[in-house]
Structure 1
């Protein structure tokens, strides 16, 4: 069987191609639609390179096992074989589950950004035309820098010193604006809450306690009204199981992505916004299972063997 270099799925080759696209991208002004288009191509290659860094097999389309074989550096015997990798949306989703720093906020941005590219290329829709750099560039740079970190590449090595400095300044400025906006939102809900009479507050507090108990999520105190509220997120670690007295206990770390308080109506989405509001910490979700639930046994008695020594 002949060996194949599979350069198209090689992490270093993909990274080198991404850097070429970055150089082309930087040949345009940041408010030019072509800058936006090339940025989406650069982002895709960085995401593919990061996933391939874990293993090229993660890029293989599972619809044909020959793609997996090809990802291992082999050339299949299949006639007319053309290797097929997964789509960029799936690449982004897989990377978000593997890298805890590639949070939901970055995942959602990347999915939107590559969708703009698809609209531009496949529908002739001017998706990048008129798009203000301040609306997307800080998040774009943050996403790229997280991907570069997973590739053990410094931003200065990829972007160049001046561009890397500018990128970090934009990221820091966006954090400040996020904090200002969220704290203003929290203050507005706090004012509304304080304007309610004591009877209404007690009613809403009781409703929130019941709601938070029944809903899935992590219970926290609302930064606006202090009532019990919930944050929900995505797992960022493998689940850890241990045996209790009668149950299997499973614990897993989660990174918050959204917050909701039904008492004062405050809702926050995105890790940067949650962190600015003080509810963005990683939390542990604990689940308890009986052995039959954990191993998905329909009826434990189905696995009970008769004792043939029992007298008839």
Structure 2
């Protein structure tokens, strides 16, 4: 019997579930197949993280039981508990770009509503739109497991997944084009004095389009070519440089490298709020900002144990 945090066991179970999800629609309803798919996505997330370390899926507890089990230090009848889907997806978003915890979370929310609510409907979007969005996330986790799609679904079903991925790529292209063109149109209407009153009440040039993330960087807007703001919360690197300015004094310069997650333009109202949209216009990149005193790494010094 494999351990509950074993990568191979989690992978094989995800493989079983996702193949149930791809069964003939004549034999299984969309709701049932989507349910199996949502369970497979969570298992893929567990497998991808557990492949790096079982500690990444262990629920922290005061007595450390889960951590000790994950390290193989406790066996027998000890029960291992893994973190919930929300935590799994949050960790996967940080570890396996461009996995989107928001998209994955919507799948889990729909599953929970289907299982525990009165409705028999799994998702509010059509099945033909649901599967491309599902596979755009699942394939990232497959790659994080150092596997290929064919390893998960087999050669006969791999072309089906490829078709969904291609459809998702086209959907992202179309949505990005629509958002950029709408922003250009909105700005042109404002300059011509023909902006509808209803739109004008919701947006005016100069209005902040910020998401309020921790860091921001000025970049050229892909719609109006004015200055917009690329924002992000996640610091992916801290560079600290020390410059001696006197015999006993040093100046410290801290540079933070931040992952861009959101773009907003106050000049035309364009908002791009996902990695896929940012990538489509060439803005899915890290940016550097100046750090403050709180970002200076603490000096630990020597312990004097030589």
When normalised by structure 2's length, the TM-score is: 0.79
Q: CA deviation at 1:21?
A: 0.9
Q: CA deviation at 1:293?
A: 6.0
1:273 corresponds to 2:277: yes
- Segments of structure 1 that go 5 or more residues without pairing to the other structure are 298-312
Q: CA deviation at 1:158?
A: 0.8
**Pairing 1:80-91 to 2, within 5 Å after superposition:** 81-91=78-88
Q: CA deviation at 1:89?
A: 1.0
Greater alpha carbon shift after TM alignment, 48-57 vs 245-254? 245-254
1:251 corresponds to 2:245: no
Separation in 2 of the partners of 1:215 and 1:19? 39
Contact in 2 for aligned 1:247/1:288 (Cα 8 Å): no
Partner of 1:52: 50
1:14 to 10, 13, 25: 10
- Structure 1 residues 281, 26: closer, same or farther in 2, change over 3 A? closer
When normalised by structure 1's length, the TM-score is: 0.78
Which SS does the other structure have where 1:264 is aligned? coil
- Segments of structure 2 that go 5 or more residues without pairing to the other structure are 194-203, 244-250, 300-306
Partner of 1:43: 41
Contact in 1 for aligned 2:98/2:275 (Cα 8 Å): no
Separation in 1 of the partners of 2:192 and 2:19? 61
Contact in 2 for aligned 1:242/1:249 (Cα 8 Å): yes
1:97 corresponds to 2:94: yes
Q: CA deviation at 1:180?
A: 2.3
Contact in 1 for aligned 2:240/2:255 (Cα 8 Å): yes
Which SS does the other structure have where 1:75 is aligned? coil
RMSD: 3.1
Separation in 2 of the partners of 1:196 and 1:138? 36
Higher-Rg structure is 1
- Structure 1 residues 22, 177: closer, same or farther in 2, change over 3 A? closer
Which SS does the other structure have where 1:8 is aligned? coil
**Pairing 1:1-312 to 2, within 5 Å after superposition:** 7-29=3-25, 32-64=30-62, 65-75=64-74, 81-102=78-99, 106-128=100-122, 131-197=125-191, 207=206, 216-233=215-232, 235=234, 237=236, 239-245=237-243, 246-254=251-259, 256-276=260-280, 278-290=281-293, 294=296
- Higher helix proportion, which one? 1
Contact in 2 for aligned 1:190/1:224 (Cα 8 Å): yes
